[in-house]
């Protein structure tokens, strides 16, 4: 065994580096090894080591223990194998971090791909789900204008709007699902979890609701009933009867232009006008019904169109500004169905 000794300070003990070789190692080989070690030490520890001395002939048992780096194999901890995954943690985390989006970008993304709620709406609408008129006042036609946002679409065999003052009719407002009339608007409920932005207005093909908007609409209907300006109103909410899990709604383009006033052909809607098929298809949807005197149907439709709702904005801007409430008209621009006492479709407006 050969050793290299360096006195790096007068106060410290010599630092010993062991060099092992076979017992019959010749003096020439030993000196060559020492010279190689001296060169390596100078290159690696040039700024720390000084006055390297060459010594030979020391035994392992008599070698001086180094002041630093003194350990035995028994003191070493067991080596643990690794797949070096820790080296990539920081890199993967940095890749997963996306730049913060502005409020406008988040809202636009959520409007394009809203997440729908398929749970039961039984408890979303406050009970009771049937509100009967307790009085029979005469309607005041001057309080609300007749609905004229778009010409009505008549459902065969009907071609004109000729209400009987002694009959009752009802508007069907979908809360979720599709109504069994092709030109009517469908409806969806936004999932309450996460950031969901309610559409400001409805479209001809789709109405969007939130849980808060549905509860607010039911309260609005009760207020209309209690005002008595639209005559005797009765209300009902009908949760889906077939399943609590709805199928995905297929987006449908509007079947008619805004200026269409002709009746829909009997071949396309004649089969759907029967009471049995209509009630069967309505069971797949959640919907409201507003019963009223036939002579004031279009005035009631106008009151439904005016329903206001203020949606608390869930996303604040990145600059720290407070989120402002969004004023919505969930039924503005929607196409609702007017039915008779037997739920047969009369017109869409």
pLDDT in tens, the chain (349 residues): 444 444 444 444 554 555 556 666 677 777 777 777 777 667 665 555 455 455 555 454 444 444 444 545 555 555 455 555 554 455 445 455 555 455 555 555 555 667 889 899 999 999 999 999 988 899 998 888 999 999 999 999 999 988 888 899 999 999 999 999 999 999 999 998 766 678 888 888 999 999 999 999 999 999 999 999 999 999 999 998 764 444 444 444 343 333 333 333 333 444 344 555 676 678 889 999 999 999 999 999 999 999 999 987 655 444 555 667 889 999 999 999 999 999 999 999 9
User: Is the same domain home to 45 and 152?
Assistant: no
Please count the structural domains in the chain. Answer: 2
Q: Identify the pLDDT of residue 77.
A: 58
Picking from 47, 72, 97, the residue at the C-terminal end of a domain is: 72
Residue 21 lies in a domain: yes
Report the pLDDT value the prediction gives residue 5, as an integer from 0 to 100.
Answer: 47
- 78 is a domain residue: no
The pLDDT of residue 241: 74
Rounded to 5 degrees, what angle do the CA atoms 100, 102, 105 make? 110
pTM greater than 0.85 (yes/no): no
What is the model's pLDDT at position 57? 54
State the Cα torsion 130-244-125-195 to the nearest 10°. Answer: -160
Do residues 146 and 68 share a domain? no
Looking at the fold, whether 222 and 129 belong to one and the same domain comes out as: yes
Residues 219 and 263 in one domain: yes
Verify that 60 and 192 share a domain, yes or no: no
Nearest 5°: the CA angle 188, 329, 178 is 25
Report if residue 61 sits inside a domain: yes
pLDDT at 322: 62
Domain limit, last residue, from 72, 89, 120: 72
Q: Are residues 231 and 299 in the same domain?
A: yes
- Of 130, 131, 122, which Cα lies nearest the Cα of 211? 122
Q: Is residue 179 part of a domain?
A: yes
Which ranges of the chain does DSSP label H, i.e. alpha helix? 27-44, 89-96, 103-112, 211-227, 266-269, 275-282, 297-305
Please indicate, yes or no, if residue 319 is contained in any of the structural domains: yes
In a domain, residue 95? The reply is no
Among the candidates 20, 55, 72, a domain finishes at 72
The answer on 189 and 52 residing in a single domain is no
61 in the same domain as 198: no
DSSP annotation of 85 = G
Residues 195 and 327 in one domain: yes
Same domain, 40 and 157: no
Residues 175, 308, single domain; the answer is yes
For residue 71, the Cα-to-chain-centroid distance in whole angstroms is: 59
What is d(CA 268, CA 259) in angstroms, rounded to the nearest whole number? 20
Strands 286-293 and 153-154: unpaired
Residue 312: what pLDDT? 75
* pLDDT recorded at residue 231: 95
Q: Tell me how far apart the alpha carbons of residues 157 and 193 are, in angstroms, rounded to a whole number.
A: 44
User: What is the Cα–Cα distance from 279 to 261, expressed in whole angstroms?
Assistant: 26
Residue 79: inside a domain: no
Record the tokens describing residue 6, joined without a space. 């360096």
Domain span including residue 112: 106-348
Residues 127 and 181 in one domain: yes
Instruction: Decide if 94 is inside a domain.
Output: no
* Nearest residue to 332 (alpha-carbon basis) of 347, 349, 313: 349
Q: Pick the closest to residue 315 from 197, 191, 192, 190 (CA basis).
A: 197
Instruction: Yes or no: say if 291 and 234 are a contact pair by the CB < 8 Å rule.
Output: yes
**CB under 8 Å to 142, separation ≥6 — which residues?**
none
């Amino acid at each position: 065994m050969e050793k290299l000794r360096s006195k790096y300070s007068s106060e410290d003990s010599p630092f010993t580096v062991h060099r092992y070789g076979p017992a019959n190692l010749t003096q020439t080989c030993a000196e060559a090894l020492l010279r190689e070690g001296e060169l390596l030490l100078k290159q690696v520890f040039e700024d720390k080591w000084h006055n390297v001395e060459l010594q030979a002939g020391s035994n392992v048992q008599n070698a001086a223990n180094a002041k630093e780096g003194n350990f035995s194999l028994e003191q070493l901890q067991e080596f643990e194998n690794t797949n070096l995954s820790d080296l990539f943690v920081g890199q993967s985390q940095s890749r997963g971090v996306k730049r913060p989006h502005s409020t406008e970008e988040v809202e636009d993304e959520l409007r394009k791909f809203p997440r729908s709620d398929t749970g039961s709406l039984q408890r979303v609408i406050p009970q009771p789900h049937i509100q009967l008129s307790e009085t029979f006042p005469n309607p005041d036609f001057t309080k609300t204008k007749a609905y004229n946002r778009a010409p009505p679409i008549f459902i065969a065999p009907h071609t004109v709007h000729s209400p009987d003052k002694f009959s009752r009719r009802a508007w069907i407002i979908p809360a979720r699902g599709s109504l069994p009339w092709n030109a009517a608007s469908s409806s969806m409920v936004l999932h309450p979890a996460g950031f969901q932005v309610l559409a400001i207005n409805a479209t001809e093909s789709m109405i969007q609701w939130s849980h808060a908007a549905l509860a607010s609409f039911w309260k609005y209907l009760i207020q209309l009933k209690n005002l008595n300006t639209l005559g005797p109103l009765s209300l009902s909410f009908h949760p889906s009867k077939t399943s609590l899990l709805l199928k995905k709604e297929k987006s449908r383009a509007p079947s008619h232009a805004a200026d269409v006033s002709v009746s829909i052909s009997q071949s396309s809607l004649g089969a759907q006008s029967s009471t049995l098929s209509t009630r069967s298809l309505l069971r797949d949807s959640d919907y409201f019904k507003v019963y009223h005197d036939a002579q004031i149907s279009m005035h009631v439709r106008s009151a439904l169109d005016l329903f206001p709702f203020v949606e608390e904005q869930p996303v604040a801007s990145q600059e720290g500004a407070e989120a402002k409430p969004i004023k919505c008209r969930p039924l503005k621009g929607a196409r609702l169905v007017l039915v008779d006492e037997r739920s047969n479709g009369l017109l869409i407006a």
